[in-house]
Amino acid sequence: MTALTRRPFVVLALACLLPPLLAACLAPPLPPAETPSVLPVATAAPRPTLTPTPPLPPGFSTNPDRPADPAARAVRGGPPVRLAPDPASPVISGLYFDAPLALLEEKTGADGERWFRTRLWGVLDGWISAVHITLEPSPPIATFWENQGPVPTPTAPPSAELTLDVRGTTNCEARLRSGLGTDWRVKNVVPAGTTVRVRAWQTDEEGHAWFSVTAGEASGWLYSGTVDLAMAPAARAPAAAIAGKGMWLPQPLLEMADENQLVSAARSLGLTHIWLEAGSSAGGFYGRRDAARLLPAAHAAGLKVIAWLTTSLYNLPGDVELSLEAANYRTPDGQGFDGIAPDVEQNMGADDVKAYAEITRARLGDDMLMVGVVYPAGSWLGKEHPIHATLARYCNALAPMAYWSDERRAYYDGEAYWYVNQVIGDLQAVVGRDYPIHVIGQMYDPFGRNGAGQFSPTSSEVRAALRAGREGGAVGVSFFQWGTATPEEWAALRDFAW
């Protein structure tokens, strides 16, 4: 999702390929290799300045807010906020570098040093030593795309043959081949609408998926883009797990936090769910240990926890297995995630997205919540890579990243409302008004040194985003991310009744 956690997976690949479907449907060339360029994913894609039309509902401003300067910021090293002004007091949580703090009271601690009372996450009072804060504002920095150089495209070797037992239907007249790829002999031409039995799948040298099938008396390989796997439509009931207010929780922050204090804060904020960073294509399922801590505490408090996965889709078998590993994970006392959220913003090649989504759904079954994290359908990336309808076939809900603040200027609440409302409307035009949409809003500064800075959204923008989500028909709104939100943003989230 962003460049704000310490993982190196924060890249965006723009897939610039002709649809491999054409190659398999009677056109002989092998699907071309992808040659995506790479952009950052810390912010929404650049777009024109927002113009709030049609007119906004009553109660919104047309004058930009000036973000309040925080009283202090955390220094490097994960400085701890403690329950009492004492270095031996239990830690509520460590802080990200540059995390903004409101200082409410000063006191001399048991160690003779200066301590300040602060309100962590908008609801928990704690104490931080004066040596762990600075009064200097963090300087803005250039975003990744402003300093972008050539970045190599990730590659993966051809996979082994992988078992998959499901029926499918050809969606065009397709060539059944004796081997994996268009260099192999054509054994038969399979008419569109033919039911086939898929026995296995495999990726070729360029990372595209192929199905080993039986079609009548013949057997061979069909390109995955020519076959739609048969399965029941994704159930809508599990989407209730992401209704209401939520927050995106990076794994490095949870490592520094007391999980019981974090869950207590979530309840006081009125959250219903947490999106926990759990794994990535590059790092695998690295969130196992933290999930073992958070899941029991969260479930005991009635909170749902969704596994947030950064799936690059450059290694389809690896991403399918990552998704299954997270979905099937159980704590020692038998608790699991309430859903998975694959983040699809790197390789957005239509057939690769389809293959990942339908194979993952076929392996998961119908009961597991799967939420596709996507760029807004109306953004230039969403228009260039219209994957939303495909993902909607296999996911229970879609979560567009509605990050409205992407320029070095003050925004006003009307802009935030209009943008979030437009994101919902654009996606509804693709997937229908009844399909579950969960909006991801913004609580970070895209130009900040560590995601925190003077261009973070204001409290009025956060309230406007929440209102737009509720009034636009979204099932819920969550914010990226826990760790960079300002005191004013936390207060706005806390005080908004969903």
Residue 274 confidence (pLDDT): 98
Q: Which helix (H) or strand (E) holds 21?
A: helix 20-24
Q: Is there a single domain that holds both residue 200 and residue 284? A: no
Q: Would you say residue 29 has pLDDT above 90? A: no
Look at 81-85, 228-232, 316-320, 426-430 and tell me which has the smallest mean pLDDT.
228-232
In a domain, 6, yes or no: no
Q: What is the mean pLDDT of residues 62-81?
A: 78
What CATH number should be reported for the domain holding residue 211?
2.30.30.170
What's 312's domain CATH number?
3.20.20.80
Q: Which residues contact 473 (CB under 8 A, 6 or more apart)?
A: 424, 428, 433, 437
Residue 347 is predicted with a pLDDT of 96
Q: What is the residue-averaged pLDDT of the chain? A: 87
Confidence of residue 368 (pLDDT cuts 50, 70, 90): very high
- Within a domain: 214: yes
Positive or negative, the CA dihedral 238, 241, 243, 247 is: negative
User: Cβ distance 153 to 314 under 8 Å?
Assistant: yes
Check residue 50 and give its pLDDT: 46
Domain assignment present for 173: yes
Q: Do 257 and 92 contact (CB within 8 A), yes or no?
A: yes
33, part of any domain? no
Question: Which structure tokens are listed for 270?
Answer: 């009125």
Q: Is residue 311 part of a domain?
A: yes
**Closest by CA position to 276, among listed 5, 81, 498:** 5
Distance in Å from the first CA to the final CA of the chain: 25
Q: Both tokens of residue 191?
A: 């008419």
Q: Is 113 helix (H, G, I), strand (E, B) or coil?
A: coil
Give me the domain span that covers residue 179. Answer: 155-230
Q: Considering Cα of 487, then 489, then 494, then 495, what sign does the dihedral take?
A: positive
Q: What is the mean pLDDT of residues 138-153?
A: 64
- One domain, residues 408 and 441: yes
Residue 27's pLDDT is what?
36
Question: How many domains, in total, are found in the chain?
Answer: 3
CA–CA gap between residue 36 and residue 41 (Å, rounded)? 14
pLDDT single digits (tens) 404-428: 998 999 999 999 999 999 999 999 9
- Please indicate, yes or no, whether residues 206 and 99 belong to a single structural domain of this protein: no
Confidence of residue 149 (pLDDT cuts 50, 70, 90): low
Are 317 and 189 within one domain?
Answer: no
Residues 244 and 358 in one domain: yes
Last residue of a domain, one of 230, 257, 290: 230
Looking at residue 90, its pLDDT comes to 98
Are 298 and 424 in a shared domain?
yes
Q: pLDDT band at 139, cuts 50/70/90?
A: confident
Q: Is the per-residue pLDDT at 49 higher than 50? A: no
Where is the domain boundary, 196, 230, 264? Answer: 230
Exposure class string for 283-299: b at 16+ Cβ within 10 A, else e: bebebeebbbbbbbbbb
Per-residue pLDDT averaged across 324-353, rounded?
Answer: 97
What's residue 157's pLDDT?
86
CA distance 341 to 306: 7
Residue at 24 is within a domain: no
Share of the chain above pLDDT 90, in %: 74
**For the stretch 412-429, what's the b/e string if a residue is b when 16 or more beta carbons lie within 10 angstroms of its beta carbon?**
bbbbbbbbbbbbbebbbe
* Shared-domain flag, residues 454 and 414: yes
Asked if residue 176 has pLDDT above 60, the reply is: yes
Q: How many CB atoms within 10 Å of residue 152? A: 6
Number of residues that make up the chain: 498
- Looking at the structure, tell me whether residues 267 and 317 fall in a common domain: yes
- Are residue 363 and residue 478 in the same domain, yes or no? yes
- Is the pLDDT confidence value at 9 over 50? no
Q: Is the pTM of this model over 0.75?
A: yes
pLDDT at 65: 64
Three-state DSSP class for 211? strand
Give a yes or no: residue 65 inside a domain.
no
Say if residue 489 is in the same domain as residue 340.
yes
Cβ atoms of 56 and 414 within 8 Å: the answer is: yes
DSSP states along 120-160: ETTTEEEEEEGGGEE-SPPPP---GGGG----PPP--PPPP
For residue 38 the two structure tokens come to 């790479």
State the CATH number of the domain containing residue 83.
2.30.30.40
User: Average pLDDT, stretch 125-135?
Assistant: 95
Clarify whether residues 195 and 249 are in a common domain.
no
In a shared domain, residues 256 and 220? no
Higher local confidence (pLDDT), 367 or 47 = 367
Sorting pLDDT into bands at 50, 70 and 90, what band is 62?
low
Domain boundary among 230, 255, 279: 230
Query: Has residue 22 been placed in a domain?
Result: no
Q: Mean pLDDT over residues 22-40, rounded?
A: 33
